[in-house]
């Protein structure tokens, strides 16, 4: 059986390092950090954990409807979304995922743009 990217890169143990690094970049970004200012820690961790799973086809993925609900109260622009995808790509490259895997993960996220960005 084909293993998911999540499994091939070591499951939660190693992937959580990737996600922490991604999240650090997001919080360092002047455009993106504002969205997380009033979000409590528990929710940040939840966000992060769900990102991990969704990043790579791991367990506990969620529906487009849930994604839409989670972001509905924000006004996330396409530019902000793209900025986040840049940071995601950078992070995955930092952690030596191969190009094919990086593209697959970024593609998965890009496919969801309409459930996150305000339109």
User: Of these, 80, 87, 92, 97, which contacts ligand HEM (CB under 6 A)?
Assistant: 80
User: Of these, 81, 87, 91, 105, which contacts ligand HEM (CB under 6 A)?
Assistant: 81
Contact pattern from residue 22 through residue 51 relative to ligand HEM, giving x for each residue in contact according to CB under 6 A and a dash for the rest: ----------x--xx--x---x--xx--xx
Tokens found for residue 57: 């086809």
Q: Does 62 bind ligand HEM (CB under 6 A)?
A: yes
Tokens found for residue 13: 């143990």
What's the closest the beta carbon of residue 90 comes to ligand HEM, in angstroms? Answer: 15
Question: Is-contact 32 83, C-beta < 8 A?
Answer: yes
Please tell me whether residue 95 adopts helix, strand or coil conformation.
Answer: coil
The piece of 8-16, 73-81, 89-97, 99-107 that touches ligand HEM (CB under 6 A) is 73-81
Please tell me whether residue 13 adopts helix, strand or coil conformation.
Answer: helix
For residue 105, give the nearest of 96, 116, 94, 97 by alpha carbon.
97
Q: Which is nearer to ligand HEM, 40 or 99 (CB)?
A: 40
For residue 36, give the nearest of 48, 50, 54 by alpha carbon.
48
Question: Is-contact 31 80, C-beta < 8 A?
Answer: yes
Return residues touching ligand HEM (CB under 6 A): 32, 35-36, 39, 43, 46-47, 50-51, 54, 62, 66-67, 70-71, 76, 80-81, 84, 109, 112, 116
């Amino acid at each position: 059986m084909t293993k998911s990217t999540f499994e091939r890169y070591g499951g939660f143990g190693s992937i959580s390092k990737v996600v922490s690094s991604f999240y650090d970049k997001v919080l360092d970004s002047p455009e993106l950090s504002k969205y997380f200012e009033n979000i409590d820690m528990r929710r940040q961790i939840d966000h992060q954990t769900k990102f991990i799973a969704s990043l790579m086809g791991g367990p506990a993925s969620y529906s487009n409807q849930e994604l839409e609900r989670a972001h509905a109260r924000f006004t996330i622009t396409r530019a902000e979304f793209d900025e986040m995808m840049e940071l995601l790509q950078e992070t995955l490259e930092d952690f030596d995922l191969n190009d094919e895997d990086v593209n697959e993960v970024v593609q998965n996220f890009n496919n969801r743009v309409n459930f996150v960005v305000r339109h």
